[in-house]
Amino acid sequence: MDFDLTKLLFTLLGLLIVLNWGILMSGIIRKIGARVAKRYGIPVYQGWIDLIKNYAIRSQITHGIMFYLGPVFRLSGGVGLFLFMPMIFGSEHWSNYSFQGDLILLMYFQFFGMLGMALGAGEGGHPNSAIGISRGLSQFTTIEVPMTLAVIAIAIQYHTLSIADIVAAQQGSILNWTVFTNPFATVAAMLSVLGAFGHSPFNLVKAPNEIPIGPPTEYHGTFLGVLRTNAAILHVIEAVLFMNLFFGGASNWFELFLKSFLIYFWSVFVGMVFPRFRIEQSVRWFLKIPTLLGIIAIILA
């Protein structure tokens, strides 16, 4: 196969667009959260300042190779999702490297970063690392159950594992979107999104208000910058994935920005309303209502 330089350049440009949109979207969301709490909040451009500061700092602490490969694996998961994700429907330049069966690969990439961080935390030497690993893997595994059931349901419905084909099947009318043709799969997936994005009530893995530990403090300097970079990319790409599967995809960048923001804001809105669950509570919750809806979606499909 011939090397396509134009394809590579457009893919890198798309990655840059997604990164900057993710940073901006995170700043907007944090601003909205601050205003809800009657605070002024940070500037929306604070994300770029933090990223530059992190990449300008070098770490003088040594924990081991795997500890520092954790953020690399985490970033690989986010970038891998982007590389095989069709961004704009009908555009050859913005389809990235999607192919028949790419939906299965993207589901693997979602779990890849989490496993990398678990391996990295295990070599950190912190006494609470095992607690964080068990929390993260237990909760994320149960998040994957309804999400996988929803994906299987729409794969059966559209008779394909190609995201581009699934988006194509939803064209013509808003009533062709999966949210209308398969509402049970959509609700199951959107409930699992709440845990995938890591906002309250499903953010006890990091416990940001209770304990001064976890990735934001264990990792610092460039390694923290890599984690922040991945967070900006991953939030957008996961929103784009659900946009493609359930909300008709996007025919231009403006539509992509709007839909990805609304999908991401769904998890933020719920996080502002509901208090945090304990891990055992969140595990039971994901294995009840969302899983039941996913099973119903498969039966109906």
> Distance (Å, rounded) from C-alpha 96 to C-alpha 10?
8
> Distance (Å, rounded) from C-alpha 270 to C-alpha 282?
14
Q: What is the mean pLDDT of residues 78-104?
A: 90
How high is the pLDDT of residue 181? 93
How high is the pLDDT of residue 274? 82
Enumerate the domain spans of the chain: 5-300
Residue 112 CA, distance from chain mean position: 12
User: Measuring CA to CA, which residue among 19, 22, 20, 26 is closest to residue 43?
Assistant: 26
Question: In the structure, what pLDDT confidence band is assigned to residue 214 with cuts at 50, 70 and 90?
Answer: low
pLDDT at 286 over 70: yes
> Distance (Å, rounded) from C-alpha 197 to C-alpha 52?
24
- Tens of pLDDT, residue by residue over 109-139, are 888 877 777 777 777 767 777 777 788 888 8
Q: Which of 49-63, 154-168, 210-224, 263-277 is predicted least confidently?
A: 210-224
pLDDT at 239 over 60: yes
User: Measuring CA to CA, which residue among 117, 103, 231 is closest to residue 157?
Assistant: 103
> Distance (Å, rounded) from C-alpha 149 to C-alpha 166?
16
How high is the pLDDT of residue 3? 65
Residue 29 CA, distance from chain mean position: 15
Structure-derived torsion over alpha carbons of residues 219, 224, 229, 234, reported in degrees to the nearest 10 = 20
Question: In the structure, what pLDDT confidence band is assigned to residue 5 with cuts at 50, 70 and 90?
Answer: confident
pTM to 2 decimals? 0.89
How high is the pLDDT of residue 210? 53
pLDDT at 1 over 70: no
How high is the pLDDT of residue 199? 80
Q: What backbone phi and psi angles, to 5 degrees, belong to 215?
A: -50, -40
> Distance (Å, rounded) from C-alpha 240 to C-alpha 34?
25
How high is the pLDDT of residue 135? 80
- Tens of pLDDT, residue by residue over 60-75, are 676 778 888 888 888 8
Question: In the structure, what pLDDT confidence band is assigned to residue 21 with cuts at 50, 70 and 90?
Answer: very high
How high is the pLDDT of residue 134? 80
Alpha-helical regions (H) of the chain: 5-36, 46-55, 65-83, 102-122, 129-158, 163-169, 178-181, 183-196, 215-218, 222-246, 253-273, 279-286, 289-300
